[in-house]
Structures are given as structure tokens and as C-alpha cells.
Amino acid sequence: MFCAYAVTAVVFTYVYQLTFFAGIMVYTNRREMDNRNCITFRKIKKDIDTWNTKDNDLCDRSFEKNHFLSKFFRTTYSDLLLNPIVRLFIISAFLGYLGIATWGCTKVKLGLEPNDLLPDNSYGKRTLRMAEKYFSDYGSSLHVWMYNLSRVDIGPRRLWVVLEKEIELYEHTEFTGGSYVLSYHLSNKLVYL
């Protein structure tokens, strides 16, 4: 279902941007044809008639030829967009899109349940249910990996003291249950060293 929503949103956004920027280009073209300033929209006085000079006759004017796409957008597409029924449909579709988006934003739930992501008959879902039933008092496990320990002095027991201090930092936070919940094997190993 997410893919269908995503495709619909992308297609609608593409069409919306195409029609919006096409409208902006029409207004920009009208401003240029009226010889108006691009910022103040005031008329600009023509001091020199540049189109009648002899130098402009030597310029390449191949860009003025009508391309297939320019003909399509000038005739077919613009005629379609200027049709009052199509205009009404586009405005209605946009307002409907805004309404559905607003309604969807009010229905968003915070959080993500892993049980909802798994099929009903999967062993993963059964495992998550049992873990929640028997181990929910302890919370999630935190795994800490320490790398780049080559900078630590690995003399007798020095590395173990550094690791012990790091573990104590994790024991005494508001997010952990204290040392009785902490499960690590370093203390047992130190007994036998």
C-alpha cells in the first residue's frame, strides 16, 4: 500500500509542478513581451532598436525554429490546460489532495510495532510475543563494542580496568537498570586471571 501512495504522490507532484511552472513561464513570457522589468514590472524604455541593426542579421537564428515539444506545449497542452472543465478538475484534484493529506496527517500514529511487520504464522512473531511476555520487565539489551583499543596500555590488568570503568559508566544512567541487570562476563574472567 505504501508503494501505491508513494507513486500517487510522485505523479501528482510532477503534474502539479509541471502545470505550476508552466503558468509561471506564461506570465514571464507576457512580461518580456510587454518589455517590463523582471523585478519591478515597470515598462522599460527602448533607447536603441537592437532588432534592426545589421549585425543581428549575421546571428544564428536556428533557435527560433519551432521544436516539436514547443509546438506540443504551445498548442495541445496549453489548450487542454486552458479548458475550463480541466481547470476545475485540476483545482478540485489539488484541493482533494490537500484534504486527504491533512486527514492522513491526523491519523499518523507514533511508534512502530515489530509484531505488526511480521506475518501472523511466523516464528519471529511468536518469539517477539514470548520475549514481551517473559522479559518485558528488563527492557531491551544494549550491546557495546569497543574498538581501537590499541591506544590503551595493555599491561597486566590495565586493559581490564579501563573496560571496567567503561561498563560502570553504563551502569549508572537513568536508562539502565543498574548493575544487577547488567550482564557481562568480564568480572568472571578477572577472577581467574
Question: Are 154 and 186 members of one domain?
Answer: yes
Q: Are residues 62 and 84 in the same domain?
A: yes
Better-predicted residue by pLDDT, 175 or 133: 133
Is position 55 within any domain? yes
pLDDT range class, residue 88, cuts 50, 70, 90: very high
Distance CA 116, CA 54 (A): 76
Overall number of domains in the chain: 3
Domain for residue 125, yes or no? yes
Q: What does the pLDDT look like over 27-57, one tens digit per residue?
A: 888 888 888 888 888 888 876 555 555 555 5
CA distance 191 to 51: 96
Q: Are residues 10 and 38 in the same domain?
A: yes
Give this prediction's pTM.
0.34
Residue 144 is assigned to a structural domain of this protein: no
Least confident of 68-72, 80-84, 173-177, 188-192: 188-192
| Amino acid at site 58 | L
Domain of residue 172 covers: 149-192
pLDDT, tens digit (0-9, with 9 covering 90-100), for 170-191: 777 776 666 655 556 666 666 6
Residue 62 binned pLDDT confidence (cut-offs 50, 70, 90)? low
Q: Is there a single domain that holds both residue 84 and residue 116?
A: no
Once rounded to an integer, what is the mean pLDDT over residues 113-131?
85
Residue 160 inside a domain? The answer is yes
Determine contact, residues 177/139, Cβ cutoff 8 Å. yes
Closest CA to 185 of 164, 166, 165, 170: 164
pLDDT of residue 2: 78
Domain final residue pick, 90, 106, 122:
106
Together in a domain, 121 and 187: no
CB 163 within 8 A of CB 149: no
Joined together, the cell numbers standing for residue 101 give: 493529506
Whether residue 129 is found in the same domain as residue 157: no
- Section 102-120 average pLDDT: 82
Indicate whether 15 and 90 sit together in one domain. yes
Q: Give the rounded percent of residues in the chain with a pLDDT score beyond 70.
A: 70
Q: Is the pLDDT assigned to residue 118 strictly greater than 90?
A: no
For residues 95 and 126, state if they share a domain.
Answer: no
Average pLDDT, the chain: 78
Residues 14, 74, single domain; the answer is yes
d(CA 80, CA 90): 11
Asked if the structure places residue 72 within a domain, the reply is yes
Same domain, 36 and 94: yes
% of the chain surpassing 90 pLDDT: 7
Say which amino acid occupies 112.
Answer: L
Under 8 Å between Cβ of 19 and 82? no
Q: Are residues 38 and 133 in the same domain?
A: no
* Cα three-residue angle 133-139-143, rounded to 5 degrees: 125
Half-sphere exposure of 71 (CA within 13 A, CB side): 4
Cα 8 to Cα 1, 11, 67: the distances in Å are 11, 5, 31
Same domain, 32 and 74: yes
Q: Fill in the amino acid letter for 19.
A: T
Give me 24's grid cell: 509561471
Residue 96 above 90 pLDDT? yes
